[in-house]
Structure 1
Amino acid sequence: MEMYVSTIIILIAVALSNFLAKFVSSISKTYISLIIGIIFAAIPLINGYISKFDFEFFMAFIIAPLLFLEGQKTRSILVRKKIKSIIGTAVVLALVSAIAGLFTISQVFSLTLPFALILIAISTPTDATAMDSVSEGRKMPKRTETVLKMESLFNDASGIILLQAGVIWFKTGHLSYAKNFGVFILTAIGGALLGLLVAFIIMVCRQMIIRTRFNVTSSHLIVYFATPILIYLAAEELNLSGIIAVVSAGLIFNGEMSRSRFSSPRYLSFFNQTVNFIGDTMNGFVFVILGLSLMRIIIEKKTELTSTLEWLWMGIVIYLVSLVIRYLYAKFVTRYGQMEAISFSLGGVHGAVTLALVFSLVGQGISTHLFNLILLTETVVIILSMLTPTIVFKLILDPVQNEDDLWMNKKVVREKMVRVGIEYVSNLQISPAVKESVTFDLLDQNRNTTLRQFLKQWSGVNSKRYIFTGFQAVEERQILMNAFEEERKYLYDLIDGAALDKAKYVYDVYSELLISESLVLDSYEE
């Protein structure tokens, strides 16, 4: 019961943050989700109803599906082209950063090497969603942006393997470099093969069913969203990398969606909308949980926070060492330009996965004092990795087109388009009730109707005034379709010869118009 209540509260927080993001466009939506999570945790009545952080649930039901969706957005050909870069960032850079950080913090803070490795390993995974939030509204160098995304998809496995090695070393006093490297190769390759194989089998089965009369959209969606969870759990059960398995599975599904768009267009349209909704909700979910967790750490660990500042200095040093190593790697190994190197070094943002790895230590023989020290240290790393690039990127990167400006451009295009449709209808000699209903529908495309007008239409539907049958129903549908055709002609003329940046928002309006037409046809079929 407690889990259900927690989920509902967090979903309310996500909905609230999405709503507030529309009013505070200058702040990234993920930061607003983070702040809402902090506020909810600070209110004892609400905080009491939210369950404690569950590492296994979080990884299997939140992170695995999110990485699966990220993998699906990535073309497999891009992964093949960037395989050298992926190995470089997810393996070589991770190991170099771990070694440099390991010896630095062990020497500076007189820590044992196993404990230092645990700290460094937890801060290895980077977060693509968190990176998007800190660079939102800024033009990232294209090559850097692609490499950072590839890195974040695959370096979680590196962090998990390093953490396992660190925990074993901490508990037994022994570290086998060859064995741990062999385990890493086995789990990574095994996870990739498992993900690819299972996803391919599921894809073939789904495509066979789509091409028969037994095709059921709801069943496909259930199978689709269950796929990353099952693959992750199966991989972990087999001691393989669940993270790499779900990313690899996502890559298979990318090719499927791009080559089966028209075999079942209604399904794909609904599928895309559903996936976007679930993905957006899960992203908000992650950052609300992150905010909740950070605030709980501050509330529950007040004694450790004030008794010593060792956790603060350790977090700062770990972040700075990582920053320097990433810059040197980008500048001298990959031969990036100055701006690309700076962007790459700052783009190693840490988020919820880092926090999840901390909580994975529960029950692994780490004392309460050391666990609290790890938790506070990694909290500093997460906060620094998000705040630093947010500030620096605003100073060094050019802004992209403001979302408000884009919305205004679309609004202007839509207003002119609607005017064309209404002008067409106003010149027709038709039933006044049909003309009023169609005019309202056309104005509603631009949300240019008042609440009073809506209530009048709502009342008319309930009193059957605007429910047409027979000839009037045919007339209403035909006039709407003709008005939409006039609007499409207007948009087509705008697109023809338009610059790429202007054509984008015209295409957005055009696609909405096509959806409106499909709704008219659907209502007729019903």
Structure 2
Amino acid sequence: MNIYLSTTAIFLTVAIANLVAKYIKVIPKTYINLLLGIIIACVPMMNSMIMQFDSESFMVFIIAPLLFLDGQKTRSIMVRQKFKDILGTAILLALISAVISLFTVTSVFSLTLPLALILISISTPTDATALDTVREGRKLPGRTEAVLKMESLFNDASGIILLQAAVLWYKTGHLSYTKNIYDFLLSAVGGAVLGMIIAFIIMIIRQKIMRTRWNVNYSNIVIYFLTPIIIYLISEKLELSGIIAVVSAGLIFNGEVRRTRFSTPRFQNFFNTASDFIADLLNSSVFVILGLAISRIFIEHKSALTDNLDWLYLGIILYVLSLIIRYVYAKFIARNSQIEAVTFSLGGVHGAVTLALAFSLVSQGFSGKIFDLILLVETVVIILSMIVPTIAFKFILDPVLDEDDIELKAKQIRRDMVRVGIAYVESLEISPAVKESVIFDLNDQIQQTTIKDFLSQWRGINNKRYIFTGFQAVEERQILMSAFEEERNFLYDQLDGMALEEAQHIYTVYSEVLVSESMAVENKA
């Protein structure tokens, strides 16, 4: 029962955070999720409602679907174009960082080499979701943005393999370079191949079903969203990289989505909406869970906090070393410009995967002061990697288009559009009840209906005043469709001569009108 209570509490927190973010726009939404997670952990009654962090479940049911959806949004041609950068960041940069950090940390602190490598490997994976948070409202250089995204999709596997090697070294006292390289290649390449094969088979089966009379769209979408979970579990069972497998699977489905947009348009529209909803829900949940976990770490490990401050110094040094190594790599090895090197360095943001890797050590038998040290160090790395770029990007990056300004323009264009539709309806000689109902629906597009108006319409539905049959039903549908056509024509006129980027808010409104018109045509209510 606790798992249901935990899930409900987390999703409710996400909903509240999204509402708060609507009114506190100076703070990114994900930071509000993070803050609410921290607050929940600090309130004993609320904290007791949510289960302890389970790294395995977290990777299977949250990280795997998220990376799958991220992969599905990425064109496979981009992966081919950036393949050299992927190898550089996911393998070369990870190894350079591991070697330099390993000997630097052990020379400053009294740590064994295996324990130092454990700390370094856990902080290897970067997080695209966390990056979107720290750069919100700021425009990254195009090349840097693409490389950072590719890095975050593929370097999780590097961190996992490094961690496995470090744990084995810690337990046995031996480090086999040949075996570790072989394991990495087998895990990464095998995971990629397995993910693509399973995804391709599932895609063909789904496409075959869609072209037969046995097609059931909702069964199809259930299969789609279960795909990353199935692929991840199979890959991990075969000791291959589940992370690489789900990302590769997502790349396969990118082409499918682009080539089946119009075969089942209603289903595709629902699918796009469902994908966006699930991705946003999981992204927000990640930060609520991250806030919970970070707060619990500090609360539950108070004694380790006060014994000494090695955990703090270690976390700071690991993060600073990471910044320096990433900058040198981008500037002198990848030959990036100064601003690209700086933003690449700062863009190595860590998040929930880092924390999941740290907690995965529980199953490896880690506990006591060693485990406390690892958790605290990685928590410092995560916090610094989010706070430092959030501040720095405000000074070194240009702002993107003002979202408030875009929203204001969209609201204004929507109001003008609705006025055109209402003016058209008011010019018609039709039944007063039909006219009142249609004008209410048009005003509802801009939320210009009061609770009093709503209750009046609601009572009208219940006493059949606004339930039309026969000619009136046909009349209402035709007038709604004609009004929407007038609105679309108005929007089309506004697009004349506008650049695509400037006109994006108009396209957004246009798509809403098309959805509204499809609902009027269907008229299931």
Q: State the TM-score, normalizing by the size of structure 1.
A: 0.99
Deviation at 1:28, TM superposition (A): 1.1
> What is the CA distance between 1:307 and its match in structure 2?
1.6
Counterpart Cα distance in 2 of 1:358 and 1:229: 21
Amino acid at match of 1:152: S
1:213 aligns with 2:217: no
The runs of at least 4 aligned residues of structure 1 exceeding 2 Å deviation read 499-502
Aligned partner of 1:36 in structure 2 is 36
Offset of 1:363 from its aligned partner?
A: 3.3
Task: Confirm or deny that 1:241 pairs with 2:208.
Answer: no
Match of 1:289 in 2: 289
Gap runs ≥5 in structure 1: none
The amino acid across from 2:477 in the alignment is R
Alignment RMSD, CA only? Answer: 0.9
Counterpart amino acid of residue 419 in structure 1: R
Q: What residue number does 1:334 align with?
A: 334
Letter in 2 for 1:442: L
User: What is the alpha-carbon distance in structure 2 between the residues aligned to residue 364 and residue 397 of structure 1?
Assistant: 42
| Cα deviation 1:436-468 (Å, max 9, x = unaligned) | 111111111111111111111111111111111
Distance, in Å, in 2 between the alignment partners of 1:395 and 1:11 is: 34
Aligned residue in 2 for 1:79: 79
| Matched residue type, 2:265 | P
Q: CA deviation at 1:65?
A: 0.5
Matches within 5 A, 1:314-325: 314-325=314-325
Matched position secondary structure for 1:126 = coil
Aligned 1:17-416 pairs, distance under 5 A: 17-416=17-416
Equivalences for residues 426-445 of structure 1 within 5 A: 426-445=426-445
Asked if the contact 1:311–1:373 (Cα under 8 Å) also holds between the matched residues in 2, the reply is yes
Give the AA of the match of 1:521.
V
CA drift at 1:428:
0.7
CA offset at residue 365 of structure 1? Answer: 3.2
Partner of 1:465: 465
Paired AA for residue 394 in structure 1: K
After superposition, give the CA deviation of every residue in 1:307-336 in whole Å (9 maximum; x if it has no partner). Answer: 210000000000000000000011011111
Q: Unmatched 5+ residue regions in structure 2?
A: none
Amino acid at match of 1:17: A
Q: Is the 8 A contact 1:94 1:124 kept in 2?
A: yes
Instruction: Render the CA deviation track for 1:182-214: whole Å, top value 9, x for unaligned.
Output: 110011000000000000000000000111111
Query: What does residue 517 of structure 2 align with?
Result: 517
CA offsets per residue over residues 65-118 of structure 1, 9 Å max, x none? Answer: 000000000000100111000000011001101111111111110211000000
Quick one: distance in 1 between partners of 2:312 and 2:496?
58
Aligned partners of 2:456, 2:334: CA distance in 1, in Å? 65
The alpha carbon displacement at 1:496 in A equals 1.9
2:509 counterpart of 1:498: no
Contact 1:211/1:263 (<8 A) preserved = no
Task: Encode CA deviations 1:21-46: one digit per residue, 9 max, x unaligned.
Answer: 10111111111110010011111001
> Does residue 1:475 correspond to 2:475, yes or no?
yes
Q: Aligned-pair distance for 1:220?
A: 0.9
C-alpha deviation, 1:366, in angstroms: 2.6
CA contact (8 A) 1:86 1:150 kept: yes
Letter in 2 for 1:56: E
Partner of 2:425: 425
The residue type paired with residue 47 of structure 1 is N
Alignment-mate amino acid for residue 220 of structure 1: N
How many residues matched?
A: 525
The separation in 2 between residues aligned to 1:367 and 1:261, in whole angstroms, is 51
Aligned partner letter, 1:269? N
Q: Is the 8 A contact 1:171 1:365 kept in 2?
A: no
